[in-house]
């Protein structure tokens, strides 16, 4: 389905940020961080990179301080250790071309002293009813919170400032202030939880005072063009909602937009619980109030809560929203934008225990993509790099094994190029990429990780083209079949290559260029197929020019006489 019929898949250029599409991962509390350190780990790296094809990622709610983080095994963003852990995640997401924002969270009365050692804070001393989950998933009654003093408010503002600073240091593209779902800021905004009689309570202007102070504290460390905010005017979660919510959130949204923030997200959907105390707050109303608060139109509108491809297209197409964040469907469909694009059915939404009951990969990174995963093992890094590119081409998820697998029977022979015919094929890869770079030429040893990460040139090649090439390589070596396969394959590469110069615009060849050389001239299986078919790759002018340019570069001096087979075997 074209992007014309799918506004949610169109790119969005906004405030210096390129969102590759308008659908993103909503902030979802998942409870997999270390406790009590609050550090993310390898599970988070995989979880977020699996979902990096969306236009943006909003991190799970992330505590701004120990006292603000009252959810068992939720992450934080206030210590050096947490910053270092998140930096690994953001680097991985950026390598996949994703954008990631850190949601800054203070739970207020929804926390528990068992998790942070002190009485919870709130606007007023009004406890929630029911039970809260504490250490090791034990349930305990909610505690009566402490109504925050001026000193508590000042300390919390400093925590927001520090958290924003830490988020920037951790490599996030920006932050989102969590002012929804009955957490601390929401507790100050809504009359059902704010019974104060000082400058932070009573009149609407007073109830918005703390919100404004938090925004101002965050903006001292993260600029407005990288700062979002989230509201939930319809939500009943954590006993929220009131008859005056329309008026309240008109004013709150206008106030937030007045700071010219990057985006205002409103949970306009009703699937997370609707309080039914006033009419639902819509994205059309959100747009109106964002424009009142910021008439220059530089604050985007984001919708959330129960949206589907159909409703996302409807709201974006009508101009009510610029972006839509999706939660539960994105949990169980890590390739959600691709499924939207290709018209593929969605996997069922996850069961409730998947959300935050488990502490391991179960229900977190175990939801499959619609496309197969390839496991590849080879001691030859040249071939390994080509397989990485080929997997990118076929929208195949590649998991690399850097040590020889113990279960050899589960893998194809070392160094072979796999057939892309089913989802259960297992291979792995030993990955001697640095050695490979050094063996090509001294200058390659200095290639930065960023430059190597740019070698993703085959994104336009679909699995059918790969099968067409791979099958004759290992099956019937019929010259006509091989010729047709290479005409199709090299034709796609020809169409993608720049008119001149190297693939990535560098002044020297990178792995993408070497992959083309491998295909056309080496003794790897692709090259062997060319020889069997007496195929002349030079019929494709840009392919031939790139091969000549690459082989003629000073970085590769000496390799012509040694034979191109050195690249691949």
pLDDT of residue 7: 96
Q: How far is the C-alpha of 491 from the C-alpha of 394, rounded, in Å?
A: 16
Catalytic residue annotation: 183
Residues 85/88/94/100 CA torsion (nearest 10 deg):
-10
Identify the CA nearest to 518 among candidates 507, 508, 529, 505. 529
If you search the block for the tokens 């979002």, which residue do you land on? 228
CA 141 to chain centre: 35
What string of pLDDT tens digits covers the 569 residues of the chain?
Answer: 445 689 999 999 999 999 999 999 999 998 999 999 999 999 999 999 999 999 999 999 999 999 999 999 999 999 999 999 999 999 999 999 999 999 999 999 999 999 999 999 999 999 999 999 999 889 999 999 999 999 999 999 999 999 999 999 999 999 999 999 999 999 999 999 999 999 999 999 999 999 999 999 999 999 999 999 999 999 999 999 999 999 999 999 999 999 999 999 999 999 989 999 999 999 999 999 999 999 999 999 999 999 999 999 999 999 999 999 999 999 999 999 999 988 888 999 988 777 777 788 888 888 888 754 444 344 333 444 444 544 444 444 555 544 444 443 333 333 333 322 222 222 222 222 333 333 333 333 344 444 443 433 333 233 344 444 455 444 455 678 778 877 877 887 787 788 888 876 777 776 667 767 767 775 444 555 666 677 888 999 999 998 888 878 765 654 443 333 333 32
pLDDT of residue 37: 97
CA distance readout (Å), 165 to 172, 214, 220, 272, 343: 10, 13, 9, 31, 41
Q: What is the per-residue burial (b if ≥16 Cβ within 10 Å, else e) of 334-362?
A: bbbbbbbbeeeeebeebeeebbbeebeee
pLDDT of residue 147: 98
Tell me how crowded residue 560 is: count the other CB atoms within 10 A of its CB.
10
CA 370 to chain centre: 17
Quickly list H helices, 318-445.
Answer: 328-332, 336-342, 352-356, 381-393, 433-440
Whether the Cβ atoms of residue 121 and residue 148 lie closer than 8 Å to each other: yes
Q: How far is the C-alpha of 153 from the C-alpha of 333, rounded, in Å?
A: 40
Whether the Cβ atoms of residue 312 and residue 23 lie closer than 8 Å to each other: yes
Structural domains present in the chain: 7-356 (3.20.20.70), 373-567 (no CATH)
pLDDT of residue 477: 56
pLDDT of residue 344: 86
Q: Which two tokens stand for residue 27?
A: 């902030």
């Amino acid at each position: 389905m074209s992007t014309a019929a799918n506004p949610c898949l169109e790119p969005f250029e906004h405030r210096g940020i390129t969102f590759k599409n308008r659908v993103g991962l909503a902030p979802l509390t998942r409870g997999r961080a270390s406790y009590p350190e609050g550090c993310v780990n390898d599970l988070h790296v995989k979880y977020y990179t699996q979902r990096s094809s969306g236009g943006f990622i909003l991190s799970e709610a992330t505590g701004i301080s120990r006292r603000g983080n009252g959810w068992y095994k939720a992450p934080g963003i206030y210590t050096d250790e947490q910053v270092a852990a998140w930096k690994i995640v953001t680097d991985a997401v950026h390598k996949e071309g994703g954008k990631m924002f850190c949601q800054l969270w203070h739970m207020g009365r929804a926390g528990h002293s068992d998790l942070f050692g002190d009485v919870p804070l709130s606007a007023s001393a009004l406890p929630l009813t029911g039970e809260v989950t504490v250490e090791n998933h034990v349930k305990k009654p909610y505690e009566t919170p402490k109504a925050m003093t001026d000193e508590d408010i000042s300390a919390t503002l400093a925590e927001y400032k520090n958290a924003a600073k830490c988020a920037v240091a951790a490599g996030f593209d920006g932050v989102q202030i969590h002012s929804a779902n009955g957490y601390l800021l929401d507790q100050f905004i809504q009359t059902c939880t704010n019974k104060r009689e000082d400058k932070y309570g009573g009149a609407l202007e007073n109830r918005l005072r703390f919100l404004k102070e938090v925004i101002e504290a965050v903006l001292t460390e993260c600029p407005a063009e990288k700062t979002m905010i989230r509201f939930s005017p319809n939500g009943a979660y954590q006993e929220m909602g009131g008859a005056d919510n329309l008026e309240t959130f008109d004013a709150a949204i206008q106030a937030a937009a007045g700071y010219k923030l990057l985006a205002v997200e409103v949970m306009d959907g009703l699937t997370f619980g609707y309080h039914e105390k006033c009419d639902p707050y819509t994205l059309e109303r959100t747009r109106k109030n964002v424009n009142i608060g910021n008439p220059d139109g530089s604050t985007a509108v984001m919708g959330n809560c129960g949206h589907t491809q159909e409703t996302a297209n409807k709201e974006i197409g009508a101009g009510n929203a610029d972006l839509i964040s999706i939660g539960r469907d994105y949990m169980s469909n890590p390739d959600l934008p691709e499924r939207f694009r290709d018209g593929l059915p969605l996997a069922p939404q996850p069961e409730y225990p998947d959300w935050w009951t488990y502490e391991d990969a179960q229900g977190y990174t175990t939801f499959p993509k619609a496309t197969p995963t390839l496991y590849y093992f080879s001691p030859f890094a040249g071939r390994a790099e080509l397989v990485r590119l080929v997997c990118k081409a076929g929208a195949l998820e590649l998991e690399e094994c850097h040590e020889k697998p113990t279960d050899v029977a589960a893998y194809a022979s070392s160094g072979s190029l796999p057939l892309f015919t089913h989802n259960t094929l297992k291979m792995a890869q030993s990955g001697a990429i640095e050695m490979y770079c050094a063996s090509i030429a001294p200058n390659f040893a200095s290639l930065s990780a960023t430059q190597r990460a740019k070698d993703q040139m085959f994104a336009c090649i679909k699995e059918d083209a790969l099968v067409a090439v791979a099958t004759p390589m290992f099956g019937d070596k019929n010259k006509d079949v091989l010729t047709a396969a290479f005409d199709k394959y090299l034709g796609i590469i020809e169409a993608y290559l720049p008119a001149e110069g190297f693939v990535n615009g560098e002044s020297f060849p990178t792995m993408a260029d070497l992959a083309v050389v491998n295909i056309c001239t080496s003794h790897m299986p692709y090259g062997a197929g060319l020889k069997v078919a007496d195929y002349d790759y030079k019929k494709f002018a840009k392919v031939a020019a790139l091969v000549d340019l690459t082989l003629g570069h000073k970085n590769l001096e000496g390799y012509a006489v040694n034979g191109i087979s050195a690249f691949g075997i």
